[in-house]
Amino acid sequence: MSWYHPIPCSAVLSLLLAHTVNAQTIAPDSSRLTAARTLTEQRYTQAIQDQSRLYNGTEYVNYARYYQASVGNQFFVSPDEAVGEIEYDGRLYGNIPLRYDLRTDQVIVKQPTSSFYVQLVPERVKRFSVHGHQFVRLEADSANAQGIRSGFYDLLLDKQVKVFARRTKQMQTQPSQNVTKAEFYAFTQYLIQVNNALHSVKSKGSVISLFPERRKELQRYAHDNRLAFTKETREQDIIRLADYYTSLPAAPQANASK
């Protein structure tokens, strides 16, 4: 798996041509000059192919701009681009400015040589990271019960058991003082993966019920550490309780997620 740092094609060509000129100075004979030109062309072609591989989605249009007013936005953390990395079509691209639209579940990148925004083909994105979070793509299948949908999930804990957050936003429109206003509301669903199956969890009881053989230890830990599972603390409480389960000695391997 290779790393790729996108730069404008013109810059790539300039650098490669400079390499060719240097080769001419060192070895001016025609055979070496021809070889240098061929290498330059090959490198330039490879750079173009790498860029086209990532920036081959459809145009992304910021639909929120069609409304005269808005409350919030559709993006994860911020409407501004943030540098991240993307594993796309089997390649890992680093230092990519990107945004994540939570309403449409789309990863958005900007072409480096224009103002054109591209929404990547979701099925080709294996994972991406942005704003300190790593998102992985999960596909719905018969093993994933409870109405789990295909899409990107924030990987919060990656141990014997895995904890995910499905982050989404919904948009509502309504007239307000002779203008149409768009309002965005965030929603988060938490899931724990046990025996390769995803289970939706929300409360302390729903987490503990996944590990009945450790019920007493988990209840004691939640009580001693005051895990209240309020709206403000739910995410961290789920992570802490699941993480504690993985730390218990001789945890049954039947519950390990491979």
Q: What pTM, to 2 d.p., does this model score?
A: 0.76
Question: Which letter, b or e, does each residue of 14-41 get, where b requires 16 or more Cβ atoms within 10 Å of its Cβ?
Answer: eebeeebeebeeeeeeeeeeeebeeebe
Of 107-121, 130-144, 194-208, 233-247, the poorest mean pLDDT is in: 130-144
Mean pLDDT in the chain? 83
Residue 49 has pLDDT above 50, yes or no: no
- 43 vs 182, residue with greater confidence: 182
Summarize the chain as % helix, strand, coil (round to 5). Answer: 35, 35, 30
Q: For the chain, which residues make up each domain, given as ranges?
A: 3-54, 58-255
Residue 107 has pLDDT above 90, yes or no: yes
Q: Which amino acid is at 22?
A: N
Question: Which letter, b or e, does each residue of 171-202 get, where b requires 16 or more Cβ atoms within 10 Å of its Cβ?
Answer: beeeeeeeeeebebeeeebbbbbbeebbbebe
Residue 61 has pLDDT above 90, yes or no: yes
- 207 vs 3, residue with greater confidence: 207
pLDDT in tens, 12-39: 445 444 554 444 444 556 777 766 665 5
User: Is the torsion defined by CA of 112, 125, 85, 144 positive or negative?
Assistant: positive
Say how many Å lie between the first and final Cα of the chain, rounded. 22
Closest CA to 202 of 211, 193, 192, 194: 192
- 117 vs 44, residue with greater confidence: 117
Instruction: Read off the pLDDT of each residue in 67-95 and give the average, rounded to a whole number.
Output: 95
- Lookup result for tokens 């409304």: 67
pLDDT in tens, 119-152: 999 999 999 999 999 999 998 874 455 668 899 9
Residue 231 has pLDDT above 70, yes or no: yes
pLDDT of residue 175: 85
Are 54 and 86 within 8 A, CB to CB? Answer: yes
Tokens of 7: 């730069």
DSSP letter (8 states) at residue 149: P
Instruction: Read off the pLDDT of each residue in 88-101 and give the average, rounded to a whole number.
Output: 95
Instruction: Read off the pLDDT of each residue in 82-87 and give the average, rounded to a whole number.
Output: 96
pLDDT of residue 245: 97
